[in-house]
Structures are given as C-alpha cells and as structure tokens.
Amino acid sequence: MSHDTDKLIRQLSLVAFLMAERRPLTARDVKGNVEGYSEMSDEAFARRFYSDRAELIGLGVPLDSQRDEFTGEELYTLRSENYFLDELELDDDELAALQTALYMLEGTFAYAEPLRLALQNLALGRPGFDDAPTETASRVQVRDADYSPEMAGRLSKLESAISKQRTIKFNYWSPRRDAVRERSLNPYALRRDRGTWYVVGEDLDSSDVRTFRVSRIRSDIRFATRRERDFRLPADFDVDAYRVGEDWQHGPVAGTARIEVNGDTAWWVHRTLREAGTLTDGVFETEY
C-alpha cells in the first residue's frame, strides 16, 4: 500500500474514532485503537500523530485538545456537531427536480440504489419524496448505453477488486474474433466514456495494460486467488491516458478540424466532448 493510502486510512480512522467515542481521549487511547498507529514505536507515533492532527486541522476538521488538570496529559476531542455540514434547505422546485431525476434513472441506471439513498438524504424526510411517479414522469426514460440488469453487480465487483488490488477472472466477448474466452486482469480503474463503462488494467495474458468494455463480460467476475492483495497500482498509471476516443479519432492523427458551434449547442459540446478537443469563442477544435 502506498504512503498516501496509508496516511488517508490512518487519518480517516482517527476522525472516525474520535467522533465515535464522544469523550476526551489520550494519545495512548489513539495509539491503541486507531489503525496505522498501533504497530509504530512511541517516537514514530508521536511524529505521525502530530503531523496527522496538523494536516486535518488545516483541512478544516475541528480537532480540539486540552490538558488534563490532574494527569497533565493532552486530551483530544472531535465533536460531531462541529464536523457535519450545515443542514441543506431545499425548496419545493429543487426537491421536485431531485425526485424527477430519481424517477428517470430508476431501474435503468447502474447506480440507481446509491442515487436513491443520496437523494433521500438530501430530501431530509420531506413528504411526497417516495410517492409513485406522475404520469408525465413515467413517460420520461433515460437509459445507459450499455445498461443491463447485471451492470450494477459487475461495477460493484470491479470497484471492490480495484480498491483491494485483487486479480480477477471473467469470460469476455471479443467483437473482433466473435468469440468468448477467459481473461485474467489486474484491474486499475473504471472509467465511463460516452455513457459506456470500461475497466482498465493489466491483461495478464498479454502483460499489457488494456481496456475492457464492461457490457461485454459474459460471466460472473471472480477473484483469482485468496490473497488479500495480488498487485500494486503502478505509480505512473494515468487512467486518462486510456480514454476511449471518439469515432473520428481512431488511428494516426491526420489533421485538426475546426467546427463552428451555435450558442444553444455549445454547452452540450463542452460537456460531452471536452476530452476530444477544445471549445473557444464558439469554435470546436478536434484532431482526427
């Protein structure tokens, strides 16, 4: 695990521990209960704990400390009411927009359930949010380009394998060969291009970093071993380098096209094609 990942886990664990205890805690309490500290020597712990506190305070986390008048030890607290964001107030129109978004994506969006939970939290228990969709809302449908009932499960499994750095196996259909065969992959990242999900990673059969379209997986995704970790993410890996280009960007670059874009279309070009070119003063430039 990288130094940055270790630090992130340690700092998040520290925040969670201080918030959960809801009482002043000593440095000894922290060292004995927070992941990442217990295996350190006392000297190393003192340095790490000090730097973690300073960094968290710099990020705006309200860590407080005071000296115990009886023992002289430093006591640390993190009150949850000082940590949470202010309550979000939504008017009826904003709530209706969130409700419509949920109706439109329900059942056809790979992350529909997390979306529902997030929108319900934003709604703060307001009445009517769980009502059946209106006739108008029912007529509006949005569908992922590659949506299937299995997509949510596949993405969840891939996310787990990526975060745990586990090698996976799955059957994959290749349109070039019109055949299905088993692949072994060290998954590095997920990315979504033009509504289509891809997993990028090291193909162990070819020893190259390749991109696989998630909708072409033809089996369950399973871990290849029982180890806790099978690989480490290369330090120089950049998922943006594996962006799936637009149809006109396959092959060697032949030139640059300059396309005039009307004002009512510019927002769409900027939103959907910003990785394929640049939009300046109503002119979209893209290599082909």
Q: How many CB atoms lie within 10 A of CB 205?
A: 12
Of the chain, the end-to-end C-alpha distance in Å amounts to: 40
Total number of domains in the chain: 4
Question: Is 17 domain-assigned?
Answer: yes
Alpha helices in 34-131 (DSSP H): 42-58, 80-83, 92-105, 112-123
Question: Is 161 domain-assigned?
Answer: yes
Range name among 19-33, 133-147, 187-201, 219-233 with the lowest pLDDT average: 133-147
Are 7 and 47 a contacting pair, CB within 8 Å?
no
Shared-domain flag, residues 237 and 211:
yes
- The rounded Cα 70 to chain-centroid distance in angstroms is 46
As given in the structure block, the two tokens for residue 10 are: 């340690």
Reference 186, options 213, 171, 167; nearest CA is: 167
The answer on pLDDT for 225 being more than 90 is: yes
How far, in Å, are 118, 198, 208, 232, 287 from residue 236 at the CA level?
A: 33, 20, 14, 12, 25
Residue with tokens 């990020």: 59
The answer on pLDDT for 37 being more than 80 is: yes
Question: Is 146 domain-assigned?
Answer: no
The answer on pLDDT for 138 being more than 60 is: no
Range of the domain at 258: 247-287
Please identify, among 139, 171, 205, the residue that sits at the C-terminal boundary of a domain.
139
Shared-domain flag, residues 75 and 8:
yes
pLDDT per position as a tens digit, 233-287: 999 999 888 887 777 877 788 899 999 988 778 888 887 787 788 888 889 999 8
Higher per-residue pLDDT: 249 or 107: 249
Question: Is 225 domain-assigned?
Answer: yes
Shared-domain flag, residues 190 and 256:
no
The answer on pLDDT for 3 being more than 70 is: no
Higher per-residue pLDDT: 287 or 89: 287
Shared-domain flag, residues 155 and 102:
no
